[in-house]
Structure 1
Amino acid sequence: MFGVPVEKNKKSLSDEELVALIVETQDASLFGELYDRYGKKIYNKCYSFVKDTDEIQDVTQDIFLKLFEQLHKYQGRAKFSTWLYSFTYNFLVNYKKRESEKKLGERWEKLNKNEKHLLQIEDVAEEDFFELKLSGLEKALDRIEPADKALLLLKYQDDVSVKDIQNLLQINESAVKMRLKRARIKLVNVYQKLQEND
């Protein structure tokens, strides 16, 4: 498939081609290329969940070790970067909630059962949501459920579309929108309480 030696050719491969080749060959040097492409981004995502520098480095390494084991599960339903960010947030949610040892999807399913009462609550307009002060927003994000935080970061920080989230979580569009609505409401409520206390 690749006429040029892989070492010279790997930089020109798309993420999806690189992943397919890694899965096929289990070549650690090819995985190193994937790490070079995404290591800093994943480190920064870890920073939003873990504040200790040494711990962030350990968690980042743990994510990539787990990724190497699980890379074969990437099915191409979304761009690789979108799948990787979802994988990372799932890992971080589990990391933060180690005692429960539940996957992000399972936690969202449980939360989904209890969200019927939120149908009556007026949604927070995205314009108001975006006007929250950054410093207060970071504090508020740290105080909401990790599953809600991960979903908000996936949508608003990583700019993943509702359709891609729908494909990643294998739920319908209205469920994604409801979960986003619920998470925005919770975040704004926590943010407002923090502002009242300042």
Structure 2
Amino acid sequence: MKTVSLTDEEMIRQYLTEQPNQCFEALYKRYVARVYHRCLFMTKDAQTAQDFTHDIFMKAFSKLDHFQQRSSFATWLTSIAHNYCSDQLRLAKRLHTTSLEDGMDLSESRESGLGEEQLDRVHRAMSGLSASEQLLLRQKYEQGLSIEELAGLYQIKVSAIKMRLKRSRDKIERLYSQSHT
């Protein structure tokens, strides 16, 4: 396969269905540095940028058949990278957790209100949810999938995803409150 002389769009049209691995490999080689530098610029952390770069390419390649060429492939990929990094950084701020490896011992966690008892209550509340409710919450809040991505994944309307998320959040909140009494 002579991919060097082909534009990204020509390569996708000609080789995506016949030789997807070669198509992905060629696009990866062309853009891995650009995506990594975008991630590094946004995260300011080399390891996180590397992880995000991998995730972005996995996401882009899984959606490559949806690429509609309204813009160049490079623009489309850069947009995915920017949105993914923004979503992950926003999620990290919202969840703002500190691991024990970062020097926080249990006595500090108790003082800050994040003791073992509360963690146990959270785990019990999560276990009170159905497997599908747990999965949806984890996809949204741990994996950082957008509501639109979830709607596409579940093949239902955005409004249905929003309602399922609200019901699951309400249920976990109720279960958490009940575990305290």
Normalising by structure 1, we get a TM-score of 0.45
The structure having more radius of gyration, on CA atoms, is: 2
Normalising by structure 2, we get a TM-score of 0.48
Tell me: higher relative CO, structure 1 or 2? Use CA pairs within 8 A at least 6 residues apart. Answer: 1
